[in-house]
Structure 1
């Protein structure tokens, strides 16, 4: 999960009260269906930043002696602003797949169609797995989990369509250009025949 997404995800988890670090990690992974694993070090690093920026403050210890954190008024305002601000294209994480294909196209030693086929196979496998999970999900499941599964399925459908397009584009560009760009005749050859014919 991208660093900024972890930041906002953690901040949102404080909506129902104070929490400690490991609890935040467990709830974050639970809300995202385990699809975004975050290590405990990243949780505490992000918490430190949230405290530093005035979005979170310490709130004593729980009965087990674990340090609790809670959202501040400033943090709540920032979270509300985040909810209401659309995600712009420049805010989305870079696509490693798009970068990989761009690099592979420029490398004469790489069979780009093989790269695309291997990725398509993997993307289809993932989509099949997520579709099975969605199909067998109990309607009583947490709606956030169902929506996350839908998002993953739709994203993979889109990725597979893009891979098909990328492969077709590469193949079209690699075809011999003789048919589309015929070799021009020697200058003046046909024009002189017309004049004297």
Structure 2
């Protein structure tokens, strides 16, 4: 779900085409599992179907730009304020949401961090109650599972503390959409470059 919401949040900054969205996503979320450009276009089709984006015209390079709709803007901004429990996919939803919010002009990353911290503290209280209730030696699977959730919540809290400290240190500023794309050119390099390489 974080990819869908992330693309909407980026489109809230301005129209983009698919490869540009992929580049913006990677630039704003740092390292992690690479985002397949096919996934970007499939997600854009679904967002268009759901009325959250509209397909615009093509530019002089043939890139079809997508624009966010008012419903899409509302959904993107709501996601940037929410502190829902992260999904269980390969992508780290918490890290994706927080790092993306830190780069988007207008996103309130401090409030987002506070909300995630409060959610994680509530999660820890529930987990600790579960560990106390599962103190029976016969209930080892429940204890092991709760122990894993406890470790993950504590690690997420420590990471949020680190993020907050880094953003407080500065210099830090959100940044606008990049006008350039790092899309590789097709075909042979220009003659001057190929001659210089020899």
- Under TM normalisation by the shorter chain, which class is it? 0.3 to 0.5
TM-score normalized by structure 2?
A: 0.43
Higher relative contact order (CA 8 A, sep 6+): 2
| TM-score of the superposed pair, with normalisation by structure 1 | 0.43
Task: Select the structure of larger CA radius of gyration.
Answer: 1
